[in-house]
Amino acid sequence: VNLLIINPNTTPEITALVLREATKLARPGTRLAAATGRFGAAYVASRAAFAIAGHAALDAYAEHGAGCDGVLLACFGDPGLDALKELSEVPVVGLAEASIAAAAENGRRFSIVTGGARWGPMLEEFVAARGLAGRLASVVTVAPTGAEIARDPDRALAALAAACRDAAERDGAEAVILGGAGLAGLSARIAADVPVPLIDGLAAGLAALEAAVAAGWRKPADGPFTATPPVESAGLSPALAAKLAGG
Amino acid sequence: VNLLIINPNTTPEITALVLREATKLARPGTRLAAATGRFGAAYVASRAAFAIAGHAALDAYAEHGAGCDGVLLACFGDPGLDALKELSEVPVVGLAEASIAAAAENGRRFSIVTGGARWGPMLEEFVAARGLAGRLASVVTVAPTGAEIARDPDRALAALAAACRDAAERDGAEAVILGGAGLAGLSARIAADVPVPLIDGLAAGLAALEAAVAAGWRKPADGPFTATPPVESAGLSPALAAKLAGG
Amino acid sequence: VNLLIINPNTTPEITALVLREATKLARPGTRLAAATGRFGAAYVASRAAFAIAGHAALDAYAEHGAGCDGVLLACFGDPGLDALKELSEVPVVGLAEASIAAAAENGRRFSIVTGGARWGPMLEEFVAARGLAGRLASVVTVAPTGAEIARDPDRALAALAAACRDAAERDGAEAVILGGAGLAGLSARIAADVPVPLIDGLAAGLAALEAAVAAGWRKPADGPFTATPPVESAGLSPALAAKLAGG
Amino acid sequence: VNLLIINPNTTPEITALVLREATKLARPGTRLAAATGRFGAAYVASRAAFAIAGHAALDAYAEHGAGCDGVLLACFGDPGLDALKELSEVPVVGLAEASIAAAAENGRRFSIVTGGARWGPMLEEFVAARGLAGRLASVVTVAPTGAEIARDPDRALAALAAACRDAAERDGAEAVILGGAGLAGLSARIAADVPVPLIDGLAAGLAALEAAVAAGWRKPADGPFTATPPVESAGLSPALAAKLAGG
Amino acid sequence: VNLLIINPNTTPEITALVLREATKLARPGTRLAAATGRFGAAYVASRAAFAIAGHAALDAYAEHGAGCDGVLLACFGDPGLDALKELSEVPVVGLAEASIAAAAENGRRFSIVTGGARWGPMLEEFVAARGLAGRLASVVTVAPTGAEIARDPDRALAALAAACRDAAERDGAEAVILGGAGLAGLSARIAADVPVPLIDGLAAGLAALEAAVAAGWRKPADGPFTATPPVESAGLSPALAAKLAGG
Amino acid sequence: VNLLIINPNTTPEITALVLREATKLARPGTRLAAATGRFGAAYVASRAAFAIAGHAALDAYAEHGAGCDGVLLACFGDPGLDALKELSEVPVVGLAEASIAAAAENGRRFSIVTGGARWGPMLEEFVAARGLAGRLASVVTVAPTGAEIARDPDRALAALAAACRDAAERDGAEAVILGGAGLAGLSARIAADVPVPLIDGLAAGLAALEAAVAAGWRKPADGPFTATPPVESAGLSPALAAKLAGG
């Protein structure tokens, strides 16, 4: 099984971190490749950066997706997820999407902890759009962004653990998601300090993608995620233009 | 990894069928055992039978659960699920619970197809209680119950496939769940006739349980699914009485 | 008019208390009988005990229900209510069900006060399943369970009154329900200390049942509460097995 | 117990009809008086007539309410209900309010059948404002208004019964409310033709009011239905002006 | 373009204030007239006064509406709005209705600040009935009513500004509406003290009405706001009786 | 007042059409400029094209937005709207956003009619994300996309009018929005054939933007639409990179 991890921001170090941690989590027999966004913000922590990252994710898929059996969109918040599901011939899973589905099985209410204050309302809207607003206890953000945490994780651990405890004890979460590509690998280091199940965003995403591939996923023939209808374009990469043209 | 499958009705043939099909689906390294309800309806297709099955599931867990690493509650509709989650020290997954979480990832709206007309409103209420009413396109039931389908599956295949197509084409479902312990193994035989992803209830449940065990699930220390507070009882099996007493 | 009160836990003293208080509240011409659960927890204050009590309620109805004109399920939280409605040929009313309907007429938002911390999330789910989540201001639980309050009510009065005031003043409830079979008769003793209407669970349940009988209730011929479809069973009491078999 | 029935339209014949039918339904010991609107439409079947009837109900209460123990607002749809609850020192029940509470206990979904097409959206909004939109299967109106039905009930019976059956069979209602002051007394004549419980609006309203009085209702000391804050006015009847001034 | 402003309370000074402020806000070419309620409370700050004001608004329209191109219902909370929309042949806009539509464009959540504590729950219900409950951060009321603020606005400015800041900072509103006919003209004096967009109720209402007229609004031929069906009446003003009779 | 119209697809003819029609609708004193997307699909009628258009809208604003007083995002469905609101220092209005706010004032339920089948689920999700799902009667799409309709509008008129009538008569819409930049100017040609108010997407958007500018809109100092936090980037246009860097 060949899976493509797409990091839709433009920082290769985060791509490398995610690939390294995902390799530890993957089932035997899973082969992983990873791609970085060709354009956009160094990290995604605003609506503007998010909008650009949606395009960058499509661009990366068009360039690197040939031959893969599934795509993991590795930016928690999932920019471009529905567009990528439409454009792709293989299953696509987003970190946030998979995490909230897993969290919803662990209790009535869950929280999300991540880095970067702007993600607060953006993730609330994401959860609501997935129909789970009534299950969300809170989104708790720490001040450093995922990129900053990735550069110096030791410094952020205490704040992340405190945020997770706040989610459980103050907000009533019965499960907590630790989200953020830049936070890959950190959940194991704080889980013992959190009184409720702690869901690792990368692990949840990878498990959901592996399960979909193993279950024989196939492209919907009906509904909103059938193939993108062909359309002419201008100013795009040749690979993406070809995809849009129906290639 | 040792998993216990609980069939909370009183028909051993259905237990055997589920165990046989689950064995085909399990990851390498998973060992499966199965238990049948000690009392109750021969199959569960009414609210009365469902209420009794909730007790029977607890009774079976108290008798057979020692040493297992996880429990799969193998009656689609999940009688006693929340009680079992409370009472158990290991992760518990229900077929319906896992299936609707998987379905919700495959599109905006999903349907459930199963046998036995009474399951219609019961499953609508189950989905609503899980916060996903807005995602449910329909529950489509065929007349024979799961038990009758298990006895003569060939006869039911055409009706089940037609119900799945109705769900997709008439009701707008973008994913369809084939539910029912008695229908174990049938999804592969009709998937090609269904124009949207077809989710197998048993496969979804087993995958979710294996994922929870692999992810190092642990009993919540907080929230509604912490250990059952000890209580005296009367008239129960010694094993269940001991569990309730805090054993 | 002959009404059967079912106490689905296994403590006869609570049955006697409920019968005594209900007798004070009943209309002239109402004759009351009462039955205690044959098996299960001494009192219901966990999901496990609740699941068993659902079966016990059906068992008690099968044994004692012959000839009655209506059934009052006298455990606030209503274990087995929908199953009993399905199985029974006469109207069935639960204390919680009737209380929240009455409360919803007294203001925009209501609270529930009862004994036993585990009832908090269980009652929130009950209210949500009845479609009234948006009307619920809070569930406020005091530490002693209903059984403990029944044994020494004087000790609990101050805490119950304080909980009711909290519901009104802190949580904004415009009506408060005092729930719990073990709390029967206490609402009159604290009503003067509560600044909003205080609804007595037992009084609300009995009034709703008497009204249904007086209004000429009849078994639905259509919908989810028509008669339980006949099914074979194993390991049940002869009376309940006969009921399930269509007797 | 003295109860005042307020008919907020200006047709005394409907007041007389409601009083006659309510007398048949009342508990022993209940004494009934009735008042007709002093101004407004001959019957209420539009939003304009409804708005005027809200004022007329207050006017009638100010004139005739002295000494009564409760008020039944006898226009299905309940014009002025919340204002009357605020202004009144005794419990006030509306026919529609009481009916939907009763219906919600009889099944998951209910319908309302009444006369006059304009009531369709108005009653949908009423149910939604009471938080029960998710429980409403449909509002089915027949062409003649309640006033026309009151003048010639025999002619309308077949259409009303057919509307009730449509509600149950086509729309999936598990209980049907027959609403409309002008339809008082008709439910008994068609109940046998309806396959689900048929709730009589007048009976539901009277029973709820009698229950509230019997339960010792008292004016809220807190929340939105405490006494109307005193205010000067102009152009109103002396009795209503005095009420508004805090009399 | 001729617009009629209806002040449905009975205080001509407030009518004059609204007319004066609206004149400053109107587009060139807009001619404004204003009418005061003929009966009812001196100001509307209770449910009882609100119910009467609905009738008074219809009465004023029947008397003064001839020849106007649109009606602005100038009591924030919009008593009689839907009835007036039904009865009128020209567009009708309410201050609250227009304000919440404008606020909903400025952010995810908005608050309303106004005078008079009773407006709190009344406006919450208004917003909910318009389908925007999920967008409402809070209703913050200051103690003086709109009438009291109109008499001495300087005294209320600090409290109003503080309430607006509370809405933004404590309640999370991303836009704040300053409502109340008696508060006309005050928003400009406090906007600089509020950290989020401050929406002026009168400006929003007038702009929406001017836009509707400019867009060529026409009376719906279908749906709940087609012409009031003719009905006989008693005790009303000749003008309103004629309108109800279909004149 | 200088307003910038952004057409985020790459077809200059549609930009010209929108500019021409908007000029007819603008208030005196409004000066309009227009920009076309520099990259992306020739028209937006899929999720993939939509995701790219969000980036293109930001790119166009960075290049052409200097000095304007407001931005009209002229693609019905509003790709990149929230990102643009965040990035921009002036008010931004989307055609769909403004249209549904206007429609919600015209009745309880509204429909959207536009070209291109893929817009169906995309617009349903848009309306739901704006909190108005309960108000949406339907989205009715005709087969040709907006681009095709723009090339030959006469051919599409009958189908568009029929779709609007279906929305009103079959789906119960009380107002209909005619959406789609490519449909600019067509609403006047079919309004007489539609039995309910027909809202023109471009007119609604322009009116809302003009109103916001006239009302003295200013950039929020708090909440999710404060200025984009500065971030480094790669691979973007110099103008957009500068904007993201805080320029």
Rounded to the nearest 5°, which phi and psi values hold at A34? -140, 150
Sheet of strand C70-73, all strands in order from the earlier edge strand to the far edge: C31-36, C2-7, C70-73, C92-94
Q: Tell me the shortest Cα–Cα distance from B149 to chain C, in angstroms.
A: 15
Quick check: B208 and A93 CB within 8 A? no
Quick check: A93 and B101 CB within 8 A? no
Please check whether residue F201 is in contact with residue F76, taking contact to mean a CB–CB distance below 8 angstroms: yes
The chains in contact with chain C, meaning 3 or more Cβ pairs closer than 8 Å, are B, D
The whole-angstrom separation of Cα D89 and Cα C232 is: 57
Quick check: E224 and F135 CB within 8 A? no
Quick check: B233 and C87 CB within 8 A? no
Tell me how crowded residue E87 is: count the other CB atoms within 10 A of its CB.
26
How many CB pairs below 8 Å do chains C and D form together?
98
The b/e string for D147-164 (b: 16+ C-beta within 10 A; e otherwise) is bbbbeebeebeeebbbbb
Strand segments, DSSP code E, in E2-50 are 2-7, 31-36, 40-41
Please name the helix (run of DSSP H) or strand (run of DSSP E) that holds residue D242, with its range, or none: helix D238-244
Q: What is the 3-state secondary structure (H, E, C) of chain C?
A: CEEEEEECCCCHHHHHHHHHHHHHHCCCCCEEEEEECCCEECCCCCHHHHHHHHHHHHHHHHHHCCCCCEEEECCCCCCCHHHHHHHCCCCEEEHHHHHHHHHHCCCCCEEEEEECCCHHHHHHHHHHHCCCHHHEEEEEEECCCHHHHHHCHHHHHHHHHHHHHHHHHCCCCCEEEECCHHHCCCHHHHHHHCCCCEEEHHHHHHHHHHHHHHCCCCCCCCCCCCCCCCCCEECCCHHHHHHHCCC
Residue C211: per-residue pLDDT: 83
Q: Tell me the shortest Cα–Cα distance from B93 to chain C, in angstroms.
A: 16
Please check whether residue E175 is in contact with residue E167, taking contact to mean a CB–CB distance below 8 angstroms: no
Instruction: From chain A, pick out residues whose CB is under 8 angstroms from the CB of B172.
Output: 223
Please check whether residue B46 is in contact with residue C228, taking contact to mean a CB–CB distance below 8 angstroms: yes
The whole-angstrom separation of Cα B32 and Cα B15 is: 12
Does residue D131 have a pLDDT over 90? no
Q: Tokens representing E182?
A: 């008696």
Instruction: From chain D, pick out residues whose CB is under 8 angstroms from the CB of E52.
Output: 54-55, 58, 233, 236, 240
Model confidence pLDDT, tens digit, residues E120-171: 999 999 998 888 888 899 999 999 988 899 999 999 999 999 999 999 999 9
Model confidence pLDDT, tens digit, residues A130-164: 888 888 999 999 999 888 999 999 999 999 999 99
Residue A107: which pLDDT band, with cuts at 50, 70 and 90? Answer: low
The whole-angstrom separation of Cα F233 and Cα C100 is: 56
Residue partners of C100: CB distance under 8 A and separation at least 6: C110, C112, C127, C130, C132, C135, C177
Does residue F192 have a pLDDT over 80? yes
Residue F171: per-residue pLDDT: 93
Nearest neighbour of D236 by CB, restricted to E39, E84, E244: E39
Q: Which of A86, A225, A226 to mutate: most B Cβ within 10 Å?
A: A225
Nearest neighbour of A41 by CB, restricted to F45, F121, F231: F231
In a 10 Å sphere around its CB, with 0-12 CB exposed, 13-18 middle and 19+ buried, how is residue C89 labelled? exposed
ipTM over 0.95? The verdict is: yes
In a 10 Å sphere around its CB, with 0-12 CB exposed, 13-18 middle and 19+ buried, how is residue E143 labelled? exposed
Nearest neighbour of F107 by CB, restricted to E196, E204, E224: E224
Quick check: A52 and F55 CB within 8 A? yes
Q: Which of D7, D9, D55 to mutate: most E Cβ within 10 Å?
A: D55
Residue partners of D152: CB distance under 8 A and separation at least 6: none
Nearest neighbour of E233 by CB, restricted to D40, D118, D243: D40
DSSP state of D215: T
Q: DSSP secondary structure string, chain F?
A: -EEEEEE-SS-HHHHHHHHHHHHHHSPTT-EEEEEE-SSEESS--SHHHHHHHHHHHHHHHHHH-TT-SEEEE-STT-TTHHHHHHH-SS-EEEHHHHHHHHHHTS-S-EEEEEE-TTHHHHHHHHHHHTT-GGGEEEEEEESS-HHHHHH-HHHHHHHHHHHHHHHHHTS--SEEEE--GGGTT-HHHHGGG-SS-EEEHHHHHHHHHHHHHHTT----SSSTTSPPPP--EESS-HHHHHHHTT-
Q: Which amino acid is at F219?
A: K
Q: Tell me the shortest Cα–Cα distance from F71 to chain E, in angstroms.
A: 14
Q: Tell me the shortest Cα–Cα distance from A119 to chain F, in angstroms.
A: 9
The chains in contact with chain B, meaning 3 or more Cβ pairs closer than 8 Å, are A, C
The 3-state DSSP class for residue B151 equals: helix
Tell me how crowded residue C185 is: count the other CB atoms within 10 A of its CB.
19
Helix C119-129 to helix C95-104 angle (10° resolution) is 70
Q: Tell me the shortest Cα–Cα distance from D222 to chain E, in angstroms.
A: 12
Nearest neighbour of D10 by CB, restricted to E87, E122, E233: E233
Average pLDDT over residues F202-218: 87
Tokens 């206490």 found at = C186
In tens digits, what is the pLDDT along chain C, a chain of 247 residues? Answer: 999 999 999 999 999 999 999 999 998 889 999 999 999 999 999 999 999 999 999 999 999 999 999 999 999 999 999 999 999 999 999 999 999 988 877 667 899 999 999 999 999 999 988 888 888 999 999 999 888 999 999 999 999 999 999 999 999 898 899 999 999 999 999 999 998 889 999 999 998 898 888 877 878 877 778 899 999 999 999 999 999 999 7
Model confidence pLDDT, tens digit, residues D56-103: 999 999 999 999 999 999 999 999 999 999 999 999 999 999 999 888
Q: Which of left, alpha, beta for C191 (phi over 0: left; psi -120 to 50: alpha)?
A: alpha
Closest-CA residue of D relative to E246 is D48
Instruction: From chain F, pick out residues whose CB is under 8 angstroms from the CB of A41.
Output: 231-233, 244
Q: Which of E194, E176, E164, E190 minimizes the C-alpha distance to E136? A: E176
Closest-CA residue of D relative to C97 is D105
DSSP state of A47: H
Closest-CA residue of B relative to A96 is B105
The chains in contact with chain A, meaning 3 or more Cβ pairs closer than 8 Å, are B, F
Quick check: D47 and E228 CB within 8 A? yes
Quick check: A196 and B220 CB within 8 A? yes
Please check whether residue D218 is in contact with residue C197, taking contact to mean a CB–CB distance below 8 angstroms: yes
Helix A119-129 to helix F119-129 angle (10° resolution) is 120
Quick check: E131 and F104 CB within 8 A? yes
Please check whether residue E58 is in contact with residue E83, taking contact to mean a CB–CB distance below 8 angstroms: yes
CA angle at C149 for the pair C144 and C152, rounded to the nearest 5°: 120
Quick check: C130 and D195 CB within 8 A? no
Mean pLDDT, chain B, as a whole number? 93
Quick check: C131 and D104 CB within 8 A? yes
Instruction: From chain B, pick out residues whose CB is under 8 angstroms from the CB of C125.
Output: 129
Tokens 């509560």 found at = C194
Instruction: From chain B, pick out residues whose CB is under 8 angstroms from the CB of C82.
Output: 47
**How many helices and strands in chain B, by DSSP H and E?**
10, 10
Quick check: C223 and D101 CB within 8 A? no
Q: Tokens representing B38?
A: 């000690």
Instruction: From chain E, pick out residues whose CB is under 8 angstroms from the CB of F132.
Output: 131
Please check whether residue E185 is in contact with residue E21, taking contact to mean a CB–CB distance below 8 angstroms: yes
Does residue A247 have a pLDDT over 80? no
The whole-angstrom separation of Cα A57 and Cα A55 is: 5
Q: Judge if pTM exceeds 0.90.
A: no
Tokens 């490398």 found at = A16
Residue E6: per-residue pLDDT: 98
Model confidence pLDDT, tens digit, residues D199-226: 999 999 998 898 888 877 878 877 778 8
Please check whether residue E203 is in contact with residue E218, taking contact to mean a CB–CB distance below 8 angstroms: no
Q: Tell me the shortest Cα–Cα distance from D192 to chain C, in angstroms.
A: 10
Touch A-D: 3+ C-beta pairs under 8 A: no
Closest-CA residue of F relative to A55 is F52
Rounded to the nearest 5°, which phi and psi values hold at D136? -85, 120
Instruction: From chain D, pick out residues whose CB is under 8 angstroms from the CB of E129.
Output: 125, 128-129
Instruction: From chain D, pick out residues whose CB is under 8 angstroms from the CB of C225.
Output: 107, 174
Q: Tokens representing A96?
A: 């946030």
Closest-CA residue of B relative to A103 is B101
Q: Which amino acid is at B246?
A: G
The whole-angstrom separation of Cα B175 and Cα E198 is: 45
Average pLDDT over residues F200-215: 89
Q: Give the rounded percent of residues in chain B with a pLDDT score beyond 90.
A: 78
Taking any CB pair shorter than 8 Å as contact, residues of chain F touching chain E are 27, 93, 97-98, 101-102, 104-108, 130-132, 134-135, 168-169, 172, 174, 191, 195-197, 199-200, 203, 207-208, 211-212, 214-218, 220-225
Q: Which amino acid is at C48?
A: A
The whole-angstrom separation of Cα E89 and Cα D210 is: 44
Q: Tokens representing C160?
A: 């119950």
| β-strand partners of E40 | D234
Residue partners of B229: CB distance under 8 A and separation at least 6: C45, C46, C118
Model confidence pLDDT, tens digit, residues E34-76: 999 999 999 999 999 999 999 999 999 999 999 999 999 999 9
Q: Tell me the shortest Cα–Cα distance from F80 to chain A, in angstroms.
A: 6
Rounded to the nearest 5°, which phi and psi values hold at D138? -175, 160
Instruction: From chain B, pick out residues whose CB is under 8 angstroms from the CB of A89.
Output: none
Touch C-D: 3+ C-beta pairs under 8 A: yes
Please check whether residue D112 is in contact with residue D98, taking contact to mean a CB–CB distance below 8 angstroms: no
Nearest neighbour of B107 by CB, restricted to A135, A195, A223: A223
Nearest neighbour of C208 by CB, restricted to D105, D131, D220: D105
Q: Tokens representing D93?
A: 């029940």
Rounded to the nearest 5°, which phi and psi values hold at A122? -65, -40
Does residue F110 have a pLDDT over 80? yes
The whole-angstrom separation of Cα A162 and Cα A142 is: 10
Model confidence pLDDT, tens digit, residues F122-177: 999 999 888 888 889 999 999 998 889 999 999 999 999 999 999 999 998 989 99
The whole-angstrom separation of Cα E211 and Cα E101 is: 13
Closest-CA residue of A relative to B96 is A105
Residue partners of C192: CB distance under 8 A and separation at least 6: none
Residue C218: per-residue pLDDT: 77
Helix E201-214 to helix E95-104 angle (10° resolution) is 90
Residue count of chain D: 247
The 3-state DSSP class for residue B114 equals: strand
Q: Which of left, alpha, beta for C51 (phi over 0: left; psi -120 to 50: alpha)?
A: alpha
Quick check: C39 and B125 CB within 8 A? no
CA pseudo-torsion sign F6, F11, F16, F21: negative
Alpha carbon of E211 to those of A119, C5, E76, E216, F29: distances in Å? 36, 64, 19, 9, 16
The whole-angstrom separation of Cα F35 and Cα F19 is: 10
